[in-house]
Structure 1
Amino acid sequence: MAENVKVVSSSLVCGTASNSLSRLELNPWDIRAFQTVPIQRCLIFHNPNFEFESLIQHLKNSLSRALDFFPPLAGRLVATQHGDGMASFSVDCNNDGAEFIHAIAPSISVSEVIDPPSFIPEVVYSFFPANAGFTNFEGISKPLVSVQVTELADGVVIACSANHVVIDGPSFWHFFTSWSEISRGSESISKSPVFDRSIAAEDNRRIHLPTLEKNLIGPSQLPRKVFHFSKEKLGELKGKANSEMETDKISTLQALLAHLWRSTVGSSEDSTTRTLALLIGARSRLSSFSDAYFGNAFFPVALAMSGSDLWKGGLGGTAMKINQLIAQTSNEAISRNAEKKVEPRIRREGEEKVVIHAMGSAPPIVITSTPRHNVYDCDFGWGKPIAMRSGYTYKVEGLVVVFPAADPGGMDLEVCFAEQTLQTMEDYLTSH
Structure 2
Amino acid sequence: MNHAVVDGSCFWQFFNSWSEISRGSDKISRPPVLNRWFPIDDDCPIRIPFSSEQISDTFVVPKVEEMVFHFTKEKIAKLKAKANAEMDTTTISSLQALLAHLWQSVVRCQNINDTNQEVKYVLLVSARPRLRPPLPEGYFGNTINAETLRATAEEVVGKGLGWVAWQMNKAIALQTNDGIRKLYEDWVKNPKLLTMSVMTNNTLTTSSSPRFNVYGNDFGWGKPVAVRSGSANKTDGKMTVFPGVEEGSIDIEVPFFDLRSL
TM-score if structure 2 supplies the norm length?
Answer: 0.88
Given the alignment, which residue of 25, 30, 33 partners 1:191? 30
| Separation (CA, whole Å) in 1 of partners of 2:58 and 2:25 | 41
1:177 corresponds to 2:16: yes
Task: Give the match's secondary structure for 2:122.
Answer: strand
1:424 corresponds to 2:261: yes
- Higher CA-based Rg: 1
Q: Which residue identity does 2:120 align to in structure 1?
A: T
Task: Give the match's secondary structure for 1:300.
Answer: strand
| Within-5 A mapping of 1:371-382 | 371-382=210-221
How far off its partner does 1:377 sit?
0.7
Partner of 1:384: 223
> Given the superposition, is the C-alpha separation of residues 410 and 199 from structure 1 closer, same or farther in structure 2, using an over 3 Å criterion?
same
Q: Indicate the structure whose relative CO is greater, using CA pairs within 8 Å and at least 6 residues apart.
A: 2
Task: Give the match's secondary structure for 1:264.
Answer: helix
Task: Give the match's secondary structure for 1:393.
Answer: helix
| Within-5 A mapping of 1:9-408 | 162-201=1-40, 202-210=42-50, 216-266=58-108, 270-286=115-131, 287=133, 289-339=135-185, 340-341=187-188, 342-345=190-193, 357=200, 362-408=201-247
| Separation (CA, whole Å) in 2 of partners of 1:314 and 1:343 | 39
> Given the superposition, is the C-alpha separation of residues 327 and 384 from structure 1 closer, same or farther in structure 2, using an over 3 Å criterion?
same
How far off its partner does 1:423 sit?
3.5
> Given the superposition, is the C-alpha separation of residues 214 and 321 from structure 1 closer, same or farther in structure 2, using an over 3 Å criterion?
closer
How far off its partner does 1:345 sit?
4.8
| Separation (CA, whole Å) in 1 of partners of 2:141 and 2:242 | 20
Q: Name segments (4+ residues, structure 1) moved above 4 Å.
A: 211-215, 353-357
Q: Which residue identity does 2:90 align to in structure 1?
A: D
How far off its partner does 1:288 sit?
5.0
How far off its partner does 1:306 sit?
0.8
| Separation (CA, whole Å) in 2 of partners of 1:356 and 1:387 | 27
Structure 2: unaligned runs, 5 residues or longer = none
> Given the superposition, is the C-alpha separation of residues 263 and 424 from structure 1 closer, same or farther in structure 2, using an over 3 Å criterion?
farther
| Separation (CA, whole Å) in 2 of partners of 1:305 and 1:410 | 28
Listed one character per residue, the Cα deviations across residues 208-260 of structure 1 (whole Å, up to 9, x for unaligned) are: 34287875133321222111101111111111111112211110000001000
Q: Which residue identity does 2:153 align to in structure 1?
A: G
How far off its partner does 1:409 sit?
0.7
**Do 1:241 and 1:255's aligned partners in 2 also have CA atoms closer than 8 Å?**
yes
Give percent identity, aligned residues only: 40
Q: Which residue identity does 2:77 align to in structure 1?
A: G
> Given the superposition, is the C-alpha separation of residues 356 and 407 from structure 1 closer, same or farther in structure 2, using an over 3 Å criterion?
closer
| Separation (CA, whole Å) in 2 of partners of 1:177 and 1:282 | 21
Q: Whose strand fraction is larger, Structure 1's or Structure 2's?
A: 1
